Structure 1
Amino acid sequence: MSRRCLWVFLLSLGVAVVHAENTIPSAQPGAAEVTQQVEQWRQHRVQRLTAPDGWLSLIGLEWLNQGDNRVGSGAGNDIVLNAGPAHLGVVHLAPDGTVRITLDKDSGATIDGKSQSQADLIDDIHAGESGKPTTVAFGTASFFVIDRDGRKGLRVKDSEASTRKHFLGLDYYPIDPSWRIVADWVPFDPPHKLEIGSVLGTIDKVDVPGKAVFQRDGHTFELLPYQEEPGGELFFVLADRTSGKETYGAARFLYAALPKDGKVVLDFNRAYNPPCAFTGYATCPLAPPENRLSIAVTAGEKKYRGSEH
């Protein structure tokens, strides 16, 4: 999974990215202010997650083979969708990686909102300035092409997905202002390299601009972040002693504003589950060994009750 791929993965659906404060206050806010900020953050988190095109709407991740891929809900297709017409069309993957769709004349589908029979499908990595891949829509469902280290697949969504319609809500640890930690920031010059694995089995090497060092229960801990885009916030993929028990086993995510005056705020009350905690159709990064904390982080989002994996 390339660095650009991770960025698009986190940004394209507008759910996984949960921004931190833009500035680091000179004084630690009071408990009431921390609680208010976290509660507001949680509301926005649920809104993004449950949006019609959010992560809960995923109903498929179908990898393309080179050549023609017949697509539709009918059993005779090469790719059988969980929604839509029996014969949607043919998606052609060329040896050079370009993807083109030819719609069935009776499919009723649109391409980027337009009625047309054929079009090239721009994937999420090569979407250009808009950052939006070409979308094929049919009824309440749609798909676009994703690129994961050169492997092309269809990410299929449906606003009527059972995972969205029967969402059970999120469970959290009680908000604890003591888990809003002002850590020391130790910059790396030049940046270090960090290997990030994914549920697909791929390994990506990312640039780490520094490390956050903090104390808890008399012990010192370190976390390594990276940035999905130049100048962007710090992104941590982490695990701890609650992982696989009270929290999702593979990782939790945490964003932090850029360091200021040698400090960085880590508000673990905002640690949250990756999309893979809710659906088997996502492609999520895993916590690297360097970010597996030997402490129970009893803050943030807990394991999803509706998870089957």
Structure 2
Amino acid sequence: MSIDQVETGAFAREWAQWHRRHETALADPHGFLAVTGLYWLSATPQRFPDAPGEWRTGPQGVVVTLAEGEVLLVDGAPVERAHSFGVLAERTEVTAAFGDAVVEVARRGGRDILRPRHPDNPLRVDYRGTPAFEPDPRWVLAGRYVAFPEPRPTTVGAAVAGLSHVYDAPGRIEFTVDGTPLTLTAFNGRTPGSLTVLFTDATSGVTTYAANRSLQVDAPDPDGGVVLDFNRAVNLPCAYTDHATCPLPPAENRLPVAVTAGERIPYERG
């Protein structure tokens, strides 16, 4: 066996371990595959079939009124009769438990929403993993991060019609694919200094999910160097369920090349 074969095998094994961890998180008992509904709250109290209580929102935030015998656990403490969740900041959420389920209270696109999450949701129970391209070191690309003078507020669409999201873009990433120079507008990542890019490419709607894919990028080095490992490009929740409000990529992140790496169209959307 050659050194190249050994290194390729190690690369594939490391990717497989990462992807298993990613799929385990996706299939968490209270993850996105467990979501049974997406409800837009208003000033009018509403009751939903998959969560206890009557729910409303207003200037003081989200309030639930519970009937006799209904109980929610908020921060581990039982709540009866009524509870105020207060005013939520954009793209934040809190959860309350009932039985083996939870209900997510969140704010998206300037509106308050409710999403119950049940472990026995068929989408989660029947989940059999997400297909992906075979890992290929060719798609581990060197890039250069260029910070904007100031973060740029960037409005993008959403998986839900009529909804939009606004993110501060701190900069862009420059890289090449087979000699073609490309750029991606980057948003802040999950950890300090890291970056997130949302993109589509020539495979979108053909072998990969049409609306978007996401890639996490580690913090740039002191010279702005970054590594784009497109083998770790993943689907957002909207690829699996219509109960998601996922952002769409900014227009400039529609790559004209075919990125034959990362996750493909989920079986659930096949």
Query: 2:4 corresponds to which residue?
Result: none
Residue 209, structure 1, aligned to residue 170, structure 2: yes
**Correspondence for 1:23:** none
Q: Verify: 1:67 aligned to 2:44, yes or no.
A: yes
Query: Are 1:239 and 2:200 an aligned pair?
Result: yes
2: CA distance, partners of 1:303 / 1:229: 24
| Secondary structure of 1:147 counterpart | strand
Letter in 1 for 2:212: A
Quote the residue 1:103 is aligned against.
66
Trace 1:147-296 onto structure 2 (pairs within 5 A): 147-200=107-160, 201-227=162-188, 231-260=192-221, 261-296=223-258
Q: What are the Cα deviations for residues 77-99 of structure 1, in whole angstroms up to 9, with x where unaligned?
A: xxx32x36xxx3222323x1422
Alpha-carbon shift at residue 164 of structure 1 (Å): 0.5
Which structure features the higher share of strand residues? 2
Higher relative contact order (CA 8 A, sep 6+): 1
Give the fraction of aligned pairs with identical amino acids, expressed as a percent. Answer: 33
> Are the structure 2 counterparts of residues 116 and 303 from structure 1 closer, same or farther at C-alpha, using a change threshold of 3 Å?
same
Larger deviation: 155-164 or 60-69? 60-69
Whether 1:298 and 2:260 are equivalent positions in the alignment is yes
What displacement does 1:242 show?
0.5
Distance of 1:287 and 1:248 partners within structure 2: 13
Is the 8 Å Cα contact of residues 61 and 88 (structure 2) preserved in structure 1? no
Aligned residues: 262
SS in structure 2 at match of 1:269? helix
- Deviation for aligned residue 1:68: 2.2
2-side partners of 1:202 and 1:39: how far apart? Answer: 35
1:37 partner amino acid: E
| Pair 1:121 & 2:85 matched | yes
Give the aligned residue type for 2:225. Answer: K
Distance 1:246 1:259, change over 3 A: same
CA contact (8 A) 1:168 1:306 kept: no
CA distance in 1, matches of 2:153, 2:72: 44
* 1:187–1:134 distance in 2 versus 1, CA, 3 Å: closer
Paired residue for 1:91, among 52, 55, 61?
55
Deviation at 1:56, TM superposition (A): 0.6
- Cα distance change of structure 1 residues 193 and 139 upon mapping to structure 2, 3 Å threshold: closer
Is residue 111–residue 119 contact of structure 1 (8 Å, CA) maintained in 2?
no
TM-score (norm 1): 0.77
* Residue number in structure 2 paired with 1:9: none
TM-score (norm 2): 0.88
Could you tell me whether the CA contact under 8 Å between 2:131 and 2:265 is conserved in 1?
yes
